[in-house]
Structure 1
Amino acid sequence: MALRGSGYESGSCSSNAFRSKEMQILVAFHALFFLVFLALFAFAAVKFFRSQQKGIALRRWFLFAFSIVFRIIASILVIVQVSIHECQLISESTYYQFDIARQWFSLLAYLTLVAVIMIPLCRRLVQGNRKIAKMVTLANSAYVGLLAILVVCVLGTYTSIIYDYMRLGFHDGVLDHHHIKTETAYAVLALIGMLIASANMLFAILRGRHMRKGVLRVAIPLLIVSALGMTSLYLANHIIFTYLQREYLQRGLDAFNRSLEAQLFLQLFFYAATFLSALLVASSPQLKDNDDARFNSRQPAGYTPGPHPYRQCGQPQLKEQAQYQ
């Protein structure tokens, strides 16, 4: 939902503020999910403080905290940015600075959530076989590293484009082209990454009986669906906003805005669903952080643990841009 900096500065809020239905919906969606994200943060904090091995939990799952905090900050930035823009209390340069910060926090929130799913969570799901767990960790870590490089390139080119526009009133078309191509590559590879993680999880379910019991019986399928939905929507939104905008606008501005509003809601919803389901999997009794410590403490001296018979897993397959995402 693209806006342009107004350049207005005033001492009081404009009487025309929030007369646009689109701006009302935009703020309402982000305010709603701001509360949802706060609840998820509180839920994650409760799970952490109930862990009997807080040090292990912190080292293993710290990316959960980064992801939800980044997402909360991004929502706050959108609400503040749109509010002061509607009240005409913001200069054009300040508006774009808000936009840069929002884009950074939003994209980093998604990247860190993808990372926590692909690395520590997939490793824990296949931990019954050390060789497979090591292969999954190395392959998925390399893949997340590639995604991180692309994200840095996307954010770097986006920041440069915005600053060029702020200083010169226009931006480099070549850089804009590279930015679009890089973000397209990131969106496609992020979806492929979640397909790889889904393959890891499906193998864990098929080869481990304990994965088909309790919380994991529901949480893992929910995580697969929500993670694929989150990344698919990001790719679809980027394609529509970047490549198909003219075709959508031919149907009318109202139809285009309704499409962006639906995409925004679904992106926020699927992020929240992905975070919640990943947290439920990570904190499930079958994968709780004190399993290893309690298991090892009960073994006699000289005991060499072998693969758990119920944790054998098959060989895994190796593995917004809409405004105000």
Structure 2
Amino acid sequence: MDLRIFTEPQQGATYDTLLTVAKATEDLGFGAFFRSDHYLHMSGDGLPGPTDAWITLAGLARETKRIRLGTLMTAATFRLPGVLAIQVAQVDAMSGGRVELGIGAGWFEQEHTAYGIPFPRERFGRLEEQLDILTGLWDTPVGDTFRYDGRHYSLADSPALPKSAQHPHPPILIGGFGAKRTPALAARFANEFNFPFGSVDTSAQQFERVRGALIEHGREAEDMVFSNALVACVGKDDAEVARRAGVIGREPAELRENGLAGSPGEVVDKIGRFAEIGSTRIYFQILDLDDLDHLELIASEVMTQLGG
């Protein structure tokens, strides 16, 4: 089981805080550091303000050596596809080939309004075109040009540069709850399908939909990495679990039901249930970025039992 750390910096974090967490992620043996892509907090005051996902990852690319780096999920509404292709390829090169692109349609209208970003009503079709363009640009041989005529985006005579360090391009992550269009999109473009904040049963249902879509698109089900993202609240005892839950404004019982919460043994058992349905990668959503002891506990008492 590949264990990764996933952060929500829009709730309030500086780059220095994220760097500290990323370095701890690397030093403790986790597989990757991922972050959300949001510009507005969803609770609290959000101080000191948002940090940009790809600027953050560019910095971390130069200040880490081993861990994978990526987004859950980049909002397609934030960036034009050609610009995003350049950004991801550049950060991949800066990291020596350690970048992964999680991408979604974008959903949080308030952050668009707050920062003057257009929020189109029809977003899924734009996401599909973005994926066509991203993969098309990255896969175009050096010396050739790329053209695209879509409903939402058009490109002409693009040199399709720069190229990423990874070939044919960085892994693409797609996820979500949609029953038809989302699995179909994942089957066309994704290397990994992520199901966030869902139960074992609902994850199993969605994974089966994706497996069916893969077969329809002529791919083997084994081609896809299946993963889950869940909020983490692990403690050596009930008092520590309750303390960590209180800091993030949640209840221990609710977190045990909906997240990865409780003693290390409880968390290992729950991850085992996700493994039984085919999940091979878990993203621990860490909401208190100042609690590095939390990461150390997960590494020493959970990861060691799972062979992460």
TM-score, normalised with respect to structure 2: 0.21
- Which structure has the larger Rg? 1
Higher fraction of strand: 2
Q: Name which structure has the greater RCO, CA cutoff 8 Å, separation 6+.
A: 1
Higher fraction of helix: 1
TM-score, normalised with respect to structure 1: 0.20
